Amino acid sequence: MNKEIGKVKFSYYGIAIYEVEIIYNILIGHFEDVDEFQLQTEDNQYAGLVKIEFPVSFTESFFQLFTFERWFQVKSILKEMKRRRGKKGLWTSISFNGITSELRSCLIFLILNKDNRHFEMAVEKIEYLVDLIPIQLIALPCNIEEIYYNYDQVTLKWNPQRAIRDDGTLYFFKDNKWIL
């Protein structure tokens, strides 16, 4: 098996050992190494946190190389973890190191929905954004390091929310444009 070079970062708190092992095994099955961190937190808003940082771009080739089977396993365990935590929720972040060969900004999907159904819908729709995100980000300001997407429960869509430039300048996406 050819493993992709790069380290996946996997951080968490408030999740069971077997859940950690399942996610770790899915990730290590494809990537060379997994940096695993158990976090200490004082956050009382969520019962748990899962943060996965992929060292690759968010492109169609990611899903082909990672395989849809592995991606399905990641989605399934996240949805089950959320279901088990109930109304307290599971703070989830899935990020990618780049979007296209020209746009190397870190792309971060934040899933903060406490409602089970909306959480599931958010997780299910991520891979369908591969073609849409480069179009949405055409007017992105220069030198952006991080782009955050949030799932909107009203429109049932992922939307760009904010972007952070390399000098720390914060932009918000409103009315289909980036503003300070």
**pLDDT on residue 1:** 47
- In the prediction, which pLDDT does 4 show? 65
Q: What does the pLDDT average to over 108-112?
A: 96
Dist. CA 39–CA 176, nearest whole Å: 36
Q: Which residues of 89-126 are buried (b: 16+ CB within 10 A; e: fewer)?
A: bbbbbbbbebbeeebebbbbbbbbbbebebbbbbbeeb
Digit-coded pLDDT (tens) for 142-163: 999 999 999 999 999 999 999 9
Q: Check residue 86 and report its DSSP letter.
A: G
pTM greater than 0.75: yes
Query: Domain limits at 22?
Result: 4-179
Q: Give tens-digit pLDDT for 17-26.
A: 999 999 999 9
Tokens 């996997």 locate to: 10
Rounded to whole angstroms, how far apart are CA atoms 119 and 109? 12
CA distance 172 to 164: 9
pLDDT of residue 32: 87
Q: Tokens 């007017």 — which residue?
A: 139
Instruction: State yes or no: pLDDT of 2 exceeds 60.
Output: no
Per the structure block, which two tokens stand in for 66?
Answer: 């990672």
- pLDDT confidence bin for 101, thresholds 50/70/90: confident
pLDDT at 43 over 80: no
Total number of domains in the chain: 1
State the Cα–Cα distance between residues 9 and 12, nearest whole angstrom.
Answer: 10
∠ at Cα 122 (138, 118), nearest 5°?
A: 135
Place of tokens 């849809």: 68
